[in-house]
Structure formats: structure tokens, C-alpha cells
Amino acid sequence: MTEREAKFQIGQVVKHRLFPFRGVIFDVDPEFANTEEWWLSIPEHIRPRKDQPFYHLLAENDDSEYIAYVSEQNLLPDETGEPVRHPQVGEMFAQHDDGVYQLRKELSH
């Protein structure tokens, strides 16, 4: 498999293409790096390919905040400009500017 460059960046706010949630990206895997059990738990008709970037999100929906793991094919940029309310956002990111959060200096590589 050839690695592709990630379409989205750490700190970017994105939304899921199929499900009603959004979040800020805090990590990226160049290809699928979760368990086979997790992958197989996704209904086959919507199961993503493994040979693409997967994103770790501080995610939220109308009811809760959580960590999500989402394939690139299932993400779109979030154009609302609204901040993400996940309680860990402040621990990882310093500020929100034009739909992108800036990673805290002490956490950047």
C-alpha cells in the first residue's frame, strides 16, 4: 500500500459525512490502526477502506462529547465556525481561529 498525504490537519474542525457529529482532529494515522474487531463492527455497507488516513477526533453530537476514530472518506470540513465544546479541547489546543485550533506549544513535536 502507498501512503497518501492526509487531507485534513491536526486542529481542524470536521464533521462526519453520514452521522450527526463533528469534532476537532487531535491525531492522524496514515492508514487504519485500530482493531479488526472495531473495523468489523461497522456495518459492511458503510465500512471504510483501511488504506487511507484515519483521524482521532475530540467529538461531539447533540447529546455528548467523546473520542471518535474516523476514516478520511467519511469526513468533511465543518464550516460553521463554532467552537467544539469537548472538555479536552482546552487541554490540547490554545485557541480557535477560522475553524482551526492551534495545538499547545508544549504538545507540538
Listed by start position, the domains of the chain span 13-107
| Residue at grid coordinates 476514530 | 69
pLDDT score of 104: 87
pLDDT in tens, 38-72: 999 999 999 999 999 999 999 999 999 999 999 99
Measured in whole angstroms, how far is the alpha carbon of residue 39 from the centre of its chain? Answer: 16
Q: What is the pLDDT of residue 95?
A: 75
pLDDT at 100 over 90: no
12 forms beta bridges with 100
Query: Does pLDDT of 81 surpass 80?
Result: yes
pLDDT of residue 99: 67
